[in-house]
Each structure stands twice: as C-alpha cells, then as structure tokens.
Amino acid sequence: MKKKKLIATVLSASMLVGLLAGCGSSTDPAESPTGGGETTPAQGETTPAQNDVDYANFVIDPAQIPQEKLDTTLYLAVSVRGLENPYIATINEGMKLFAEYLDSIGQKYEMQVLDSQGDSAKEVDNMRQFAAKANGNAIAYADPNEDTIAYSLAEAMAESGGYLGTAWNKPADVGPSDLDPNWVIHTSPDNVVNGYNIAKALFDSMGGEGQIFVVQGLLGNTASNARYEGLQKALEEYPNIEVVADDTANWNTDEALALVETWLTQYPDVGGIWCANDNMATGALQALDAAGLKGKVGVCGIDANTDIVEAIANGEATATVSSNGYLQGGYTLAICYAAWAGLLDPAALPADFREFATPTVLIDSPEAAKDWQNYKPEFDFSRPFDCRVAG
C-alpha cells in the first residue's frame, strides 16, 4: 500500500512570535479567521476541485450537527504514558481546551485519561474497554507506546464504532486508510528534523568540536528512532564532534541520570549531551549538577518541558523543541469529533489529510525560552485542519 511520507515544517526560534499567537496561518491555528478563505494549495496537495471539498478550510458548523448527537454523551480520551511527563500533561490540557469548545456548542461529554504507564498491552486493553463502554460514542487521541500497537489501538476503537487519531508511532506500511472510517488520522512532527536541529544547536554551542554523550529514547519507538537519525545527519556535517558514549534511557529521567553519572567518570572532558527527550535531559542536568558541571556542558532535548525551558533561559541548557501537545491533543479530538458528528467522512479525505505533520518550535536561546514561557494556547477548534502543516 502507498503511504505518504510525513513532511514537517520546523519553525525556527525567530518564528516563535507567530506560534505564540496560536500557530496561525495555513500551518498555525489561532490566527486563521473562523470563516476560512481562499488558500493556494502547496505543491503536491490535493485541490478542492479534485475532491469537491476544501478540506484545508473545513469548518465545524454546529448548526449542521443533529440535536440527537448533541444530546448524546460523547466520551473523549487521551491515551498516553503517564501524566508525570510534562509534555504528555500538555496533551491532556489540549483535551480540556477542546472540551471547552464542546461546552460552547452544547455537546454533552465525559473526559478520561487512559494511562498505560508505558505498558503496550495495557494501552490496547484500556482503549478496548473505553470504546466498549461508550458503545460507539467515543473519540480519542492515542500516542502508541510502540509503533507495532498502532493498528491494534485503532482496531480496539473500531470494534465499538468509535473514532481514533494516533500520533508519533506507527509502522510505515500501516495507516488510517486500513481501518476506514474509525482510524481517522495519524500525525507527527518531523522527528528527523527535530533531532537534527537540537544536535546542530548543541554542536554550534561547542564551537563545532568536542566529545558528546548520546542518550536515546525507547528503542523501537518511531519518534526515538527518527530523532536519532536526525542526530546522525548532523554528525555527518560536524566531523570534529566525537560520540564517546551512546545508550538508551527509555525516556526515563532516573535512567538518564545513572548513565550520565557513569559516563562522566570515564569522559570528564565531555562537551555536550544529546538527549532524545527532555525527561532524559533533566536526568543529564542532574548528573552535571552533582559533578559541578551544570552550565559548563551543553544539554539538549525535545518536548519543551518546563524545567528544560527554564534551564535554557538561565544559560544552563542549550536547546529543546516544543511539539505543542496542547495543539496535538485538542485538534486530533476536533477532527475525530467532526467524523463522529457526521460532518466529515474520513474515508473521503485525501491521503495528506489522513497522515500529516504538525508544527514545532525550536527553542535555542534564552530569549526564545522566555518567549515560550509566556505562551498561552488559544485555538479555533471549529477549523480542525488548521493544525496541519501543508506540504
């Protein structure tokens, strides 16, 4: 089967102001006018004339939602790996923001967090029980713990007739069109680009030379693998950067702390630490702090966790990337809601509206970090595809 390769547009730190306004324009949600307007399709994008529907400007019209649907209790959920992760917590907040939108249009609903704690079998079972309880009146965002369970999660939802949007992880040869109409969309930022950008920021801060540690995420996880691929691309461009230690910490702060503590005894002259997410970057910073090296050794990660953004603002860390979990959680549910309400037929969507990239922000300076700290998410969920990076 043919799958469209995700292509992301990574916003530089200098573009942060645009995102702070709510990810406006064709790739950024909040600034788009509610009624929509004419847009020029990007190269390779399906035009309205070809599909009879301008999906890029599709609007949820409450007047078109049957009263029976509005009076039905809709169950909405996010399926994640533990709210103790600050990034994942923002996905839950995105669901709450979408729930406020449902309040505004008079939709009855109940919310739930499906917390797998990193157990793939539990995540699938959670989804199946949630969908069965809702008897088809369910929509959910899911971040599959491993790419191999993406189809199983969608199947668990489809068995009861609900609608699911997945993010981050799935096999390359499987996708939403394999379970029409219940597997509605799959999205992800471009993790190769993100892994490359934080590496480049780290290497530049080191003057383009020196030793680094590499702390990988969960092996077999799509996002982790892609970020590592981005690191490898950056290393090809910086021949004087030497990787002296490389291992996985499974997205875990304590595991990263233990790794870096051990490595520091072997390589005390290390100049930087590349981490596949901010949870592990936190562990690296803790190890550096204990060794009296915090602020002297560069650290980068991904997720824009509060403590890492603060460390960048204080000059104690180098870079992170925000994937905007508020946007990911809220807009995924908005698209699934349009399908459940009968306003949108997922099977009729063009391929690049079933699988697409969502925007990110590179935070690589104290100024960019301070801007991000003032970010207030404001979205127009009536325009669900405003979360999509066209390409």
Better-scored residue on pLDDT, 42 or 188: 188
Report yes or no: 348 and 51 within 8 Å, Cβ to Cβ. Answer: yes
What is the distance of C-alpha 41 from the center of its chain? 24
Better-scored residue on pLDDT, 304 or 52: 304
Q: Are strands 74-80 and 163-167 parallel, antiparallel or unpaired?
A: unpaired
Better-scored residue on pLDDT, 99 or 84: 99
Q: Which residues contact 261 (CB under 8 A, 6 or more apart)?
A: 287, 290, 291
Question: Looking at the predicted structure, is the pLDDT value of residue 85 above 60?
Answer: yes
Question: Looking at the predicted structure, is the pLDDT value of residue 9 above 70?
Answer: no
Question: Looking at the predicted structure, is the pLDDT value of residue 97 above 90?
Answer: yes
Q: For 58-67, 76-85, 126-135, 182-191, which range has the lowest pLDDT when averaged over its residues?
A: 76-85
Mapping DSSP to helix (H, G, I), strand (E, B) and coil, where does residue 224 land?
Answer: helix
Question: Looking at the predicted structure, is the pLDDT value of residue 288 above 90?
Answer: yes
Q: What is the CA radius of gyration of the chain?
A: 21
pLDDT tens per residue, range 250-262: 999 999 999 999 9
pLDDT tens per residue, range 136-156: 999 999 999 889 999 999 999
Q: What share of the chain is helix, strand, coil (3-state, %, to 5)?
A: 45, 15, 40
Query: Stretch 16-24: mean pLDDT, rounded?
Result: 36
Count, residues in the chain:
391
pLDDT tens per residue, range 104-114: 999 999 999 99
What is d(CA 299, CA 331) in angstroms, rounded to the nearest whole number? 31
Q: Where do you find CATH 3.40.50.2300 in the chain? A: 55-188+323-358, 189-320
Residue 237, number of CB atoms within 10 A of its CB: 12
Top-tier CATH class for 189-320: alpha beta
**128-141: burial string, b at 16+ Cβ within 10 Å, e else:** bebbeebebbbbbb
pLDDT of residue 46: 41
Q: Give the position of tokens 């029409």.
A: 180
pLDDT of residue 83: 85
What is d(CA 68, CA 202) in angstroms, rounded to the nearest whole number? 55
Question: Between the CA of residue 107 and those of 36, 95, 165, what are the distances in Å?
Answer: 23, 14, 20
Query: Stretch 149-171: mean pLDDT, rounded?
Result: 96
Share of the chain above pLDDT 90, in %: 80
Provide the 8-state DSSP code for 189: -
What is d(CA 288, CA 213) in angstroms, rounded to the nearest whole number? 12
pLDDT of residue 84: 84
Question: Looking at the predicted structure, is the pLDDT value of residue 29 above 80?
Answer: no
Residue ranges of the alpha helices (H) in the chain? 16-20, 48-51, 67-71, 86-105, 120-134, 150-158, 191-205, 222-237, 253-266, 278-290, 306-313, 325-340, 366-373
Sheet holding 10-11, edge to edge: 10-11, 360-363, 320-322
Element (H, E) at 237: helix 222-237
Sheet holding 298-300, edge to edge: 241-248, 210-216, 272-275, 298-300
Q: 231-238 — which CB contacts under 8 Å span 24+ positions? A: 231/195, 231/196, 231/199, 231/274, 233/192, 233/196, 234/195, 234/196, 234/199, 234/200, 234/203, 235/199, 237/200, 238/203, 238/208, 238/209
Residue 235, number of CB atoms within 10 A of its CB: 18
pLDDT of residue 336: 98
Report yes or no: 388 and 332 within 8 Å, Cβ to Cβ. Answer: no
pLDDT of residue 269: 96
Top-tier CATH class for 55-188+323-358: alpha beta
Q: Which of 302, 304, 325 is nearest to 313 (CA)?
A: 304
pLDDT of residue 369: 97
pLDDT of residue 391: 62
Query: Stretch 185-201: mean pLDDT, rounded?
Result: 96
pLDDT of residue 197: 97
